[in-house]
Amino acid sequence: MGGVVETSREDGLAIVTLNRPDKKNAWTQGMFDALTAARAELAGDKGLRAVILTGAGGCFSAGLDFSMFAEFATRLDEIKAEMLAPPEGRAANRFQQPVTGWQDLDVPVIAAIEGVAFGAGLQLALAADFRIAAPDARLSAMEAKWGLIPDMGITRSLPRLVRADVAKELIMTARVLDAPEALKMGLLTRLAEDPLAVARALAEQLMARSPDALRAAKRLVEDGWGADARTSLALEARLQADLIGAPNQVEAVMANMHKRPPHFR
């Protein structure tokens, strides 16, 4: 591995690895840009069925590299302008896109978490559809420690997982959670001694389903949770209408009837 973000592919599965193990995969500006680029590349892959996000060296990510604070200080006005002016036609700014892009990706995204997921690392993990963590992993919305707030899509992810008072406590105190507490709180999907192996197994299970149904299921939750009744019910109906009778839905039925593996397009 040579880049700060490395992507490997195998039979419809992409594994995206944060690759600064000597720095606990702390984020530099280069990592922001590389994650955005990796997501853009995968979005154009018609054969993609699932993505795993992980970190090299037994650690997911310790958050922002200290060097970024120094860099920001030298061009504060420019950084603020970038924060306040997303690219035309997009809701997310340059610093949010490396995280929010995974929520918008059509395929399931699984975070395999070892070591720590702090700050930006936690926000990236929360953007995944599933989070598999080692029992000794630790998580924290660390920004309050530096007089800041999480601002990389936290408003899209955290409210769907925990109550408002719990979210406020996590954001305001920057306290570090151990994995069992995070699981009980709803931040994690499950614990596993080998998160990457379990993430692979889950990806295999998901990839055995119709890619159309997976895409619709993700949109059902991402776009429907918290919406008003008219919007959410209309979304259910539209997504289901698109699925019924389509080639992959018919293939799912035929495969079940004939007790054979499906062959999806």
Q: What is the number of residues in the chain?
A: 265
What is the pLDDT averaged over residues 39-45?
A: 95
End-to-end CA distance of the chain: give it in Å, rounded: 32
Measure Cα distances from 80 to 11, 91, 144, 173, 176 in Å.
Answer: 41, 16, 18, 24, 28
Is the pLDDT score of 245 beyond 80? yes
Please list the residue range(s) of the chain that carry CATH number 1.10.12: 211-257
The string of pLDDT tens digits covering residues 147-202 is 999 999 999 999 999 999 999 999 999 999 999 999 999 999 999 999 999 999 99
The string of pLDDT tens digits covering residues 202-237 is 999 999 999 999 999 999 999 998 899 999 999 999
Fold of 5-207: 2-enoyl-CoA Hydratase; Chain A, domain 1 (3.90.226)
pTM: 0.95
247 vs 252: CA distance, rounded Å:
9
Contact 154, 121 (CB under 8 A): no
Residue 66 — very low, low, confident or very high, per pLDDT cuts 50/70/90?
confident
CATH number of 211-257: 1.10.12
* Cβ within 8 Å of residue 130, ≥6 positions away: 108, 109, 110, 111, 189, 199, 202
* Runs of H (alpha helix) within 7-108: 29-43, 66-74, 76-84, 97-104
pLDDT at 109: 98
pLDDT at 69: 80
122 vs 140: CA distance, rounded Å:
7
Please list the residue range(s) of the chain that carry CATH number 3.90.226.10: 5-207
Is the pLDDT score of 86 beyond 60? yes
